[in-house]
Structure 1
């Protein structure tokens, strides 16, 4: 491999694994919300039957 190819390989690895580590640390410090703001009530739209069209 040429030095430029090795440089780009290392750069790509740092970007991919660095993003994974950064997102893991972010999610660890700010976990999913237990309470949602007002107005976030589930209206069960997915419980309705799909619209049937005769086309």
Structure 2
């Protein structure tokens, strides 16, 4: 493999795994809230 190909591989890996880590950290700080229906019970699975 050429040096350019290795650099592109490293950049792609950092983007993909970095995005995954950022998404997981964001979900830890801001977890999804469940919808509550009129009866006061949680609706499962949560609707979008």
After TM superposition, the score normalised by the length of structure 1 is 0.60
User: Which blocks of at least 5 consecutive residues in structure 1 are unaligned?
Assistant: 42-55
Give 4+ residue runs of structure 1 displaced > 3 Å after superposition: none
User: Which blocks of at least 5 consecutive residues in structure 2 are unaligned?
Assistant: 39-48
Provide the C-alpha distance between the structure 1 equivalents of 2:19 and 2:6, rounded to a whole number of angstroms: 20
1:18: which partner in 2? 18
**Which one has more relative contact order, counting CA pairs under 8 Å at least 6 apart?**
2
Provide the C-alpha distance between the structure 2 equivalents of 1:33 and 1:3, rounded to a whole number of angstroms: 46
State the Cα deviation string for residues 11-32 of structure 1 (Å, max 9, x = none).
Answer: 0000000000000000000001
Who wins on radius of gyration, i.e. which is larger? 1
Alignment RMSD (CA, Å): 1.8
